[in-house]
Amino acid sequence: MRFSVGIVSFIPCLFGLTFVGAVPTKDCAYAVKESIAEPHGWTKDSQPSPNHKIELKIALPQPNFAELERHLYEVSNPDHERYGEHLSKEEVEELVAPHPESLNMVNEWLSSFGFKDEDLARSPAKDWITLKVPVSIAEKMLDTKYHVWKHVESGDYLVRTTSYSLPTNLHAHIDLIQPTTMFGRFKSEKSSIFSAVPIPDSLVQANNAIGTIEAASGVSVDASCNQTITITCLQELYNAVGFKPSAKGNSIGITGYLEEFANFQDLQTFYADQRPDALNSTFNVISVAGGLNNQSLDEAGGEANLDTQFAFGLSHPISPTFFTTAGRPPFIPEEGGSEDTNEPYTVWLDFILSHPNPPLAISTSYGDDEQTVPFSFAQRACAGFAQLGARGVSLLFSSGDGGVGDGDSNPATQTCISNDGKNTTKFLPAFPASCPFVTAVGATTHIPEVAVSRFFSGGGFSNYFTRPAFQDKVVSAYLKALPKGTFAGLFNLNGRAYPDVAAQGDLFKVFVGGEAFLIGGTSASSPTFAGFVALLNDVRLKAGRPSLGFLNPFIYSKGFAGLNDITVGHNSGCGTLGFNATKGWDPVTGFGTPNFGKLRELVLSL
């Protein structure tokens, strides 16, 4: 801790009080605001250029968030009289606005470093402030030292610190500042085990074979679906054949990151192959912070094409939007380099919270390992998801592709080491899937469906978020049935459990760069489930009802009756077979996969 020099340092810096003789914020003593252990798997590489630009994001407290959470659960609980009475953008912003005193204190601090109001970007609720500064200034503001860190396994680089400080009288007025202690490696959940491979001619010939197979739900599915998943396969498997949405007032969105571009020409090829009635239709593209969507076939993204082709193919003609967000956190350090190293996810979250009409169902197939995301940051991002849920938006996230472990590691040598400096072995949950305000989607394969095992369908228990009340009954039952001592000490018995649901996640026929590929991962599961949520919203809207919004209270109280229970499979990782799929909810496939026919009746009964 350092103290300012001179007689003024002996005058107390009282939290939020201003009086004659009080110490200006800039002269207050600094104290550590946040500190982490040196992150596992990273090494200090070098010093960043003093001119390297960092986009600091400052989060101010949301003193009325508990009130917003109350509203969220009331409008999302099918048994509550307010079910479906979603809040407006303005009502949500009023509930998350910081106290004026916090605004004044932070403004005073920033002005002491020469920043003017025009240098600052504020969120609509004024709960976030963003400003771009050179590293040299950030180090003075935060009384810290940044380094270039290298990720040993991948070779990625980040500019980060393991500790930062603030004036003592600001601690109550700032929740967090990033990028500082965040060492996440934001990635798509497209499985590296079931990677994209061209479809061989032998498989094309086999898929021409005639025949059907019986799914566990009792529906008949074309036999070819055990080798290649198409739109028709999903419609048959999930009991949606013949349903035609009207699209009026409905919408669906896909998020894109890390320079993954969704190709229009590939979409037309996909539609010609699997959804001919959608030919010549396309999707809206919204650029976030300058995000691109280059249309060269050489730059077509496997992740982006998978997500858009299946989500929009399933939900056609519901209004589709692809959000392309700029930013790629790892950078290559070079002399005088000034690349931005921010996490792009929060850039999208800021944007969508300011959007007057976000899509009613949004799928994201990207995530981090929970332990690489500071707890304070995870809390605030999760609070952002709650705001969207309160506005009637359903958020679907892939549950991850590492089973109970780290999807980045080679499954054969997966060590699952804690990131707290103790280097203990434990299961590694994923974020944002672990946030209780989103719906996490696991993966199944084959017909009849089983969980995708072998280090694939991510699932487990959060170390950050406690188990929400809507999960208590089913999760407690699952844990009670586990043999005593199973995985003792490897997971948090009281944590938010995930996934909530599942969908097919392997062998998806996707067109990339003009060629057909088979792609797998929970990256496929999330846009698939989102497509069916969009269809359910269509059912609701046609009947004059509001959108489904935050799904979990519905799923855990009534919706599970419209899901196909998956009872075979497991999610290996960390040198174990992981958790087992079993009757009822489980941390591999949640409550199971959608039966649209049943869910359609359930959502109409609400």
Binding residues for Ca(2+): 565-566, 584, 586
Which residue is catalytic, options 55, 303, 370, 538? 303
Alpha helices in 13-153 (DSSP H): 65-76, 89-96, 100-111, 135-142
In angstroms, rounded to a whole number, what is the distance separating the alpha carbons of residues 95 and 350? 16
In angstroms, rounded to a whole number, what is the distance separating the alpha carbons of residues 603 and 83? 12
Closest by CA to 176, choosing from 92, 58, 267, is 58
In angstroms, rounded to a whole number, what is the distance separating the alpha carbons of residues 341 and 553? 36
Helix 65-76, helix 89-96: angle, nearest 10: 140
**CB contact burial 261-284 (16+ within 10 A = b; e otherwise):** bbbeebbbbbbeebbeebeeeebe
In angstroms, rounded to a whole number, what is the distance separating the alpha carbons of residues 57 and 35? 17
Task: Find out whether the peptide bond into 320 is cis, omega within 30 degrees of 0.
Answer: no
Q: For 422-434, give the DSSP string.
A: S--B----EETTT
Indicate the pairing of strand 394-398 with strand 439-445. Answer: parallel
- Residues making up the annotated binding site are 565-566, 584, 586
Q: What share of the chain is helix, strand, coil (3-state, %, to 5)?
A: 30, 20, 45
CB 326 within 8 A of CB 364: no
Closest by CA to 364, choosing from 468, 438, 300, 270, is 438
Helix, strand or coil, per DSSP, at residue 79: coil
Is 27 a residue of the active site?
Answer: no
Residue 210 pairs in a beta bridge with none
Helix, strand or coil, per DSSP, at residue 153: coil
Closest by CA to 370, choosing from 451, 415, 309, 433, is 433
In angstroms, rounded to a whole number, what is the distance separating the alpha carbons of residues 491 and 503? 25
Is 398 a residue of the active site?
Answer: no
Indicate the pairing of strand 53-59 with strand 319-325. Answer: unpaired
In this structure, what is the dihedral angle of CA atoms 306, 310, 313, 319, given to the nearest 10 degrees?
Answer: -80
Query: In the numeric block, which tokens belong to residue 221?
Result: 């599915």
In angstroms, rounded to a whole number, what is the distance separating the alpha carbons of residues 346 and 432? 11
Is 307 a residue of the active site?
Answer: yes
CA 325 to chain centre: 14
CB 555 within 8 A of CB 177: no
CB 396 within 8 A of CB 500: no
Which residue is catalytic, options 523, 526, 547, 572? 523
Which residue is catalytic, options 266, 307, 369, 401? 307
Dihedral over Cα of 371, 505, 282, 512: its sign: positive
Residues ≥6 apart with Cβ < 8 Å to 414: 402, 405, 406, 455, 573, 574, 575
Dihedral over Cα of 289, 295, 300, 303: its sign: positive
CA 526 to chain centre: 11
* Residues tagged active-site: 303, 307, 523
